[in-house]
């Protein structure tokens, strides 16, 4: 073998491990995310010194209204709303996925065992023998996460679980806000209906008094017609308010997971 040939063989032996290392490095999952470094000034022009803002306390805020009916509606909504149930189911699914992914980083163990009781055939002496036989097996394996795929899978499952939990919090926040606002609307319609009915009764009494005054000559027919028209207009607004109130109650039923009222 000439010197040139020996040099080629040696170069090939040297390049083969290097090429293998480069190819294996290309199979590694990653790299990790790095936040971009932005040059920011320490102070801004016109900036005033201020105390750091404290986060708003939103937990159980509706209980500060001291309305037992509202508290009951919120509890029913959290327990029976379909959107909340769906979000909770997604959390359970994401948690199971995370546990399954985390299990790929751990060794797997498998064991088995059996026991049998046997009876041998009769021997030449005319007697038989009974004996027990036991067997046990054990197997363990561990997948080497050479390229980091399993670790990345665990990270993705963890982020999926975090996202599902945040989705539940967002759903609860929206749900409680909808229940509280719809309940306030229903109460407002109740108050407006009661006020409209009282106003209609008072306006009817005023119209009758105006009619009596017209008969006595102290009021005109136009005054009577105006008073009657006001009473009729107020009475006509009551059914519209009642329909709006029924719509609010229907929406509360949907939010709380009850059959629509």
pLDDT for the residue numbered 68: 93
Q: Mapping DSSP to helix (H, G, I), strand (E, B) and coil, where does residue 155 land?
A: helix
**Which of these, 149, 8, 27, 154, lies nearest to 95 by C-alpha position?**
154
Partners of 138 in the β-ladder: 111
Residue 47 gets which letter from DSSP?
Answer: -
Task: List the single range of 8-22, 29-43, 125-139, 221-235 with lowest mean pLDDT.
Answer: 8-22
| Of 103-112, 156-165, 229-238, minimum mean pLDDT range | 103-112
Q: What is the pLDDT of residue 129?
A: 66
- Residue at token pair 């009951």: 72
Phi, psi of 112 (to 5 degrees): -145, 155
Query: What pLDDT sits at residue 39?
Result: 74
Report which of residues 78 and 113 the model is more confident about. 78
CA nearest 210: which of 222, 198, 196, 197?
Answer: 222
Phi/psi zone of residue 220: left (φ > 0), alpha (ψ -120 to 50 degrees), beta?
Answer: beta
Q: Of 28-32, 78-82, 188-192, which has the strongest mean pLDDT?
A: 188-192
pLDDT above 90 (res 199):
yes
Whole-model pTM: value is 0.63
Q: Are 110 and 92 in contact (CB under 8 A)?
A: no
**Angle 32-34-36 from CA coordinates, rounded to 5°:** 160
Q: Which fold has domain 65-119+128-256?
A: Outer membrane efflux proteins (OEP) (1.20.1600)
Mean pLDDT of 230-258: 92
Higher pLDDT, 1 or 160: 160
pLDDT at 36: 77
Q: How far apart are CA 115 and CA 135, in angstroms?
A: 6
Which residue, among 105, 107, 106, has the nearest Cα to 151 in the 3D structure?
Answer: 105
- pLDDT reported for residue 241: 94
> What are 89-119's pLDDT values in tens digits?
888 888 888 777 777 766 776 767 777 777 6
Higher pLDDT, 6 or 237: 237
pLDDT per residue over 207-220, tens digit each?
999 999 988 888 88
């Amino acid at each position: 073998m000439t010197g040139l040939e020996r040099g080629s063989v040696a170069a090939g032996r040297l390049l083969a491990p290097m090429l293998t290392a480069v190819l294996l490095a290309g199979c590694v999952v990653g790299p990790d995310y790095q936040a971009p470094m932005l040059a920011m000034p320490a102070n801004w022009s016109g900036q005033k010194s201020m105390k750091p803002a404290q986060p708003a306390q939103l937990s159980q805020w509706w209980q500060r209204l001291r309305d037992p009916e509202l508290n009951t509606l919120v509890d029913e909504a959290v327990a029976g709303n379909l959107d909340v149930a769906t979000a909770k189911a997604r959390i359970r699914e994401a948690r199971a996925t995370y546990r399954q992914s985390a299990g790929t980083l751990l060794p797997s163990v498998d064991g088995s065992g059996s026991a049998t009781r046997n009876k041998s055939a009769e021997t030449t002496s005319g007697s038989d023998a009974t004996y027990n036989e036991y067997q046990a097996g054990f197997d363990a394996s561990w997948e080497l996460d050479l390229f980091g795929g399993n670790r990345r899978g665990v990270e993705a499952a963890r982020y999926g679980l975090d996202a599902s939990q945040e989705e539940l919090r967002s759903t609860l926040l929206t749900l409680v806000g909808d229940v509280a606002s719809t309940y306030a609307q229903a109460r407002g319609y109740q108050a407006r209906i009661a006020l409209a009915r009282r106003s209609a009764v008072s306006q009817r009494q005023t119209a009758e008094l105006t009619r009596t005054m017209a008969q006595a000559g102290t009021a005109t027919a136009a005054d009577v017609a105006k008073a009657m028209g006001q009473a009729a207009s107020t009475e006509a607004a009551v059914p519209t308010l009642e329909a709006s109130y029924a719509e609010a109650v229907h929406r509360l039923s949907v939010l709380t997971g009850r059959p629509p009222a």
